Structure 1
């Protein structure tokens, strides 16, 4: 349970699921809408050359989503676009004609009346939904799975949402949100799909894909056209598929190597690829991992088809991997800038460090082709969204990686 498990996909297809809906042409409206918010800024892409030199690769780049809309996480990119699209549809207008200043106006609220958006979340997505509903003059109801952080609950409530921690796991909380929406006439805003519920998840994925578009522009400004490897966290997979899909649409056969990373307590994509029959698998139970944002047991079927067809390597990681990543990013090397990454944001960094330092992962490193020429992209999807937990790990050394084989001296 404490070792990193990995496998190279046997399901990958060079001509697979169509990702045009995540490509550059499809994202013009997304970028226009996000840019209409006064809070919108392109988040930093940090070049950690000191860390790259220490670990023996050509470059390490970290997209720091802790700066996103002042909410300390990336999720608002999907929630805001999806809610905007939904409201535009209710108004019978194109979203391009409804920037934030118009969509948040008293006239629009008077026309639409009060709409309640409901979701299930460990914290970051719910905060994004709650924030968007508030600034657009609407309501939000948020259900959180058992064990969720009280701090994250309070952040959601501070945005004016009706929020509570349930006795359910994440997937059960999603079912509850859908049931309550049906009973009360609410609108579900969830980044996973099921039969009859696909449109909003597609919009959320397109919102996430805007992050990849920013990254490509930033790489071009910095020098290298693109990374050679992209490490992507997978919960339900919507974020990973959206980022991968945009890179695939933008670069085609010249795309980077796509690496999917999951907690070993909620590794539904790893298990799906391991099954090797092309069908997704689920994980049940409590899914007890500190990577709360990735503790999802069922793949989003929309994201599964993309990840199945284009994912190159899959890793199932114990909690010490992301704890190591938090410490690596939070204690910079040389002139590198410090990155404050939360439990769900740092697992890619922890895995990269483990791949390049540990003898038992040598075969995986070789299979990925990681060497002195590699340019590796990591995305820190959240900052210290639970500050007490962050300090417990980074200050006090919770989940120490040295117990798994490193020399602590």
Structure 2
């Protein structure tokens, strides 16, 4: 393969202390997973072994958890939104989450409810889907520049979808304000003072996908991954997934690399801060990785990442575009994975590092070698099909 340089800042986590979070224990993950198993159409998404890619880049295994096949929603986000709404309704109607039933709750709900959220697309679609399943209302706010396909997918589920002229974080604030004025329930995947319970449930819902992956690795006779690559927006998925994996294997039992776009790298900047404090990023947050275009860390997820992540990475959009092409055009008989912009950054990062002039130094820094077993999360499929074709067919954001 060619040697080329893409912009990637890789920083070791100097704040690592290995403190585990009880919020994302194996027991809490099992509770969420048992709920998801009750949802009609549930089945674990594939864990795809890319053995030819692994051989090409000189590692033992590359395993891609393919969330593009999560129900018919093409992304992992419903795992969090649906679980949070279920927990919220169980709290409202004094029901044990272990006894939750969509059909039963439909008949028990006397007063119609409306759930509100802000989203780049996938989280809002998950909230709209859960509300639709329960015959309830949903109002979804999206930041400026939202792809029409993502808007249409939300509206098809019966939700009201409003595209603002603001960035993601300001759109969150608008959703909160409007929900408060109208008496709606906010289901948001980030936290703030006085609002922590629902985002915690959302993050616990996300642990289902890594719990599935652990079982799938066992079926492949793989004891555990040595590395996990986790993309971060506010850090909800990254925090929940890493929280579970470190509870499962120990904080020193797995190396974790947290990936962000350079235009919205609040987690990376927090990671290199003097005291490990949360650092916000403002402006347009203009990145093709729209699911990661968030400028303010989730205060529930950030302590997990600060205490247990191995490295933080800020990278340019071309890394994600490379990943879309790598996964969509596999080597040899490796399975094809359709991955959107936010889903592909992990695979793109691996190939970009392998092709970099400083490859050996990067591999040493991250502890990558011929025995490494790398878990990559493809968080979404082609949720914006037009842009997917522009990247994969037309070479947009080419090297």
User: Does residue 1:102 correspond to 2:115, yes or no?
Assistant: no
Q: Distance in 2 between matches of 1:255 and 1:240?
A: 17
Residue of structure 2 aligned with 1:257, choices 255, 262, 265? 255
Q: Deviations over 1:119-141 (max 9, x none)?
A: 00010000000010001111000
Q: Deviations over 1:309-360 (max 9, x none)?
A: 0111111010000000000000011111000000000001000111112113
Structure 2 residue runs without a partner (length 5+): none
Q: CA deviation at 1:186?
A: 0.4
* SS, match of residue 90 in structure 1: helix
Q: CA deviation at 1:55?
A: 1.2
Q: Distance in 2 between matches of 1:331 and 1:51?
A: 11
Q: With the length of structure 2 as denominator, give the TM-score of the two structures.
A: 0.97
List aligned pairs for 1:364-403, cutoff 5 A: 364-401=362-399
Partner of 1:75 in structure 2? 77
* SS, match of residue 265 in structure 1: helix
Q: Distance in 2 between matches of 1:158 and 1:280?
A: 37
Q: Deviations over 1:13-61 (max 9, x none)?
A: 12x2x42221211123212211111121100000000111111111100
* SS, match of residue 118 in structure 1: strand
User: Does residue 1:193 correspond to 2:195, yes or no?
Assistant: no
Residue of structure 1 aligned with 2:130, choices 129, 132, 154? 132
Partner of 2:270 in structure 1? 272
* SS, match of residue 239 in structure 2: helix
8 Å Cα contact 1:39-1:70 kept in structure 2: no
8 Å Cα contact 1:52-1:60 kept in structure 2: yes
Partner of 2:325 in structure 1? 327
Q: Distance in 2 between matches of 1:258 and 1:53?
A: 21
Q: CA deviation at 1:286?
A: 0.3
Residue of structure 2 aligned with 1:54, choices 52, 56, 62? 56
8 Å Cα contact 2:115-2:185 kept in structure 1: yes
Q: Distance in 2 between matches of 1:295 and 1:128?
A: 18
Q: Distance in 1 between matches of 2:281 and 2:251?
A: 32
Q: CA deviation at 1:2?
A: 5.9
Q: Deviations over 1:203-250 (max 9, x none)?
A: 000000111111110110111111111000000000001110101111
C-alpha RMSD of the superposition: 1.2
Higher deviation after alignment, 267-276 or 77-86: 267-276
8 Å Cα contact 1:11-1:276 kept in structure 2: no
Q: With the length of structure 1 as denominator, give the TM-score of the two structures.
A: 0.95
Partner of 1:11 in structure 2? 15
User: Does residue 1:144 correspond to 2:146, yes or no?
Assistant: no
* SS, match of residue 268 in structure 2: helix
User: Does residue 1:40 correspond to 2:42, yes or no?
Assistant: yes
Q: Distance in 1 between matches of 2:288 and 2:347?
A: 15
8 Å Cα contact 2:6-2:319 kept in structure 1: no
Q: 1:346 to 1:196 in 2, by over 3 A?
A: same
Structure 1 residue runs without a partner (length 5+): 402-409
Report runs of 4+ in structure 1 exceeding 4 Å deviation.
none
* SS, match of residue 301 in structure 1: coil
* SS, match of residue 39 in structure 2: coil
* SS, match of residue 389 in structure 2: helix
